[in-house]
Chain A
């Protein structure tokens, strides 16, 4: 499972970085989204991978921490998702404004001289 997850994060990151380095704003925002998925998965995996373990501790009875998965990365990833979502949405608005002003979707607002 670790191998699959690492490969998934790696592919997402690589695609994201490649797209971020492209000159079109749409490619950039796509790259940003892919990168944010990769980062979120990465944060999640930092709590170590466990299957079938709950993160929320049941208060009744004796508590054996070994039966539970680490809740902190799950809380962190939730925050990161919300923040990443909001800032990406904001970037989308700026992207559209830039498209409106410049008339093209190049990140510099004008086509590169070839």
Chain B
């Protein structure tokens, strides 16, 4: 039990890595074994993530004092070796990632895992990259995990093949490759200026820089910020997103819902570590707030303009990214807790939405959701690809249409932020925190701007989603009741129930997230626990 506890932080990386390797070795014909193995692996990650959330709340003070689990991967002490750090923020993101991953994986077992080769190993590697990016405490290691998750996502993006996917995948891969080079340049500059890549060490050293080194570091921080903003899909760096996500297969798009949030996570993590030390504020409010607002407006306009349900969700993702960036760009920490709550809600809702839309579209023939005129104007072809066919065999669950309709309404409520689901709680707490944020009695102009933009985007969301809903459900003349498998309907239902649960237990969850925000505001604890961690084997005692 103690060994399990001490090695807990590395398990979210080790489990999917080993499972992925094993899955490559297993023959495709042993489908049941492979599926069982994949699901077991993600379940194990879920268990570990739950445990880490408890640890971060201080459940195991004798193993992990202060609730921050620091794992020395190569058993070298802090600034020299690579560290994994599981604090509250990382634990919450891990939990979110494994919940979404489990839902998408179970959904894909119905038929999507057979649309191409190597779906299951790539899925595990994507989970590994995501978990690693959340856990790592080293800047270059962060780059490596970004590449792991991107490489897996390139494969998954093209899963199922077809002209549309390859064309969108080309743009997606090209954008991300260039972004990776930016990230590398920035990391090299950070190393050149400070001589360290350990994030905790960076928090100390960056504050002591002066003169040309400081200017170099500020340049590095700006390039780093651009690279992360590309991943976070901030305007004007987000034109790759709607097409890519809309053409990816639905379970893949569902997991991709958390990928933009990795960029937001990196900005939040580095921003929290660098800001209080007096380091340059490239991640700070003066850039993130206007960019967030612009992203929010771009997402809003995109939602109103688009006619295809999948693309609509892509713009919802952009909208949620914009809300997060704008909220995190506001001064003070009061908004961070509600912003994290919003992040969890939007990831769960949008992940469910992608899977739901694919089920809904089985009721219709191609192009029925696009106006006939625009179909002609844009010269769209019928992608009669094999993976779109409706030869689904299985037990039809009763009242399939009722389920689809209810689930669609839930998703729309969550995205628009209407009661009674957690989308409302998230947006309400976000806006009320924004209005209380300033120390003076009257809220600042920025706060009012944020409130106005978020409300406007919510309104646009309602309009766009209502329009889509009417077109999908009511105007269908030749609609057929689709045959849904339980393994397809259940993940969507569970994700939406999760959002309901978040609304019911909003108090405890929000308390946990507010503590997370406070711990981000005081990075000294993070830095101290990284340096306090002793290697298992004492230095200098190894055999010559």
Contacts and interface: CB of A to CB of B under 8 A. Distances in A.
A73 B158 CA distance: 34
Interface string A38-70: 010011001100000000000000000000000
Which of A36, A73, A91 has the most B CB atoms < 10 Å from its CB?
A91
A73 B188 contact: yes
Contact of B170 (A46, A83, A84, A98): A98
Contact of B166 (A20, A86, A98): A98
B361 to A, nearest CB: 23
B188 A108 contact: no
Interface string B143-165: 01001001100100010010100
A6 interface: no
A28 B174 contact: yes
A87 B151 contact: yes
B177 A91 contact: yes
A97 interface: yes
A32 B177 contact: yes
B interface secondary structure, majority:
helix
Nearest to B169: A94
A109 B163 contact: yes
Given A87-B151, A94-B169, A98-B170, A46 B181 contact: no
Contact of A39 (B166, B173, B181): B181
Contacts, number: 81
A11 interface: no
Interface residues of B, number: 28
B180 interface: yes
Interface in A65-90: 72-73, 76, 79-80, 83-84, 86-88, 90
B173 A91 contact: yes
A42 B181 CA distance: 11
Contacts of B170: 25, 94-95, 98, 107, 109
Nearest to A75: B140
A35 B154 CA distance: 20
Contacts of B192: 46-47
Contacts of B188: 39, 42-43, 46, 73, 76
Nearest to A36: B181
B101 to A, nearest CB: 23
A76 B140 contact: yes
Contact of A46 (B166, B167, B178, B191): B191
B185 interface: yes
Given A32-B177, A72-B191, A76-B191, A107 B171 contact: yes
B151 A90 contact: yes
Contacts of B154: 87, 90, 94
A46 B147 contact: no
B185 A90 contact: no
Contact of A87 (B140, B166, B171, B180): B180
Given A73-B188, A79-B144, A101-B167, A94 B158 contact: yes
Contacts of B317: none
Given A101-B167, A109-B167, 15 more contacts: A25-B170, A32-B178, A35-B178, A39-B188, A43-B184, A73-B191, A76-B191, A79-B144, A87-B173, A95-B170, A97-B166, A98-B170, A101-B166, A102-B163, A108-B167
5 contacts: A28-B174, A84-B181, A87-B154, A102-B163, A109-B170
Interface of B: 140, 144, 147, 150-151, 154, 158, 161, 163, 166-167, 169-171, 173-174, 177-178, 180-181, 184-185, 187-189, 191-192, 197
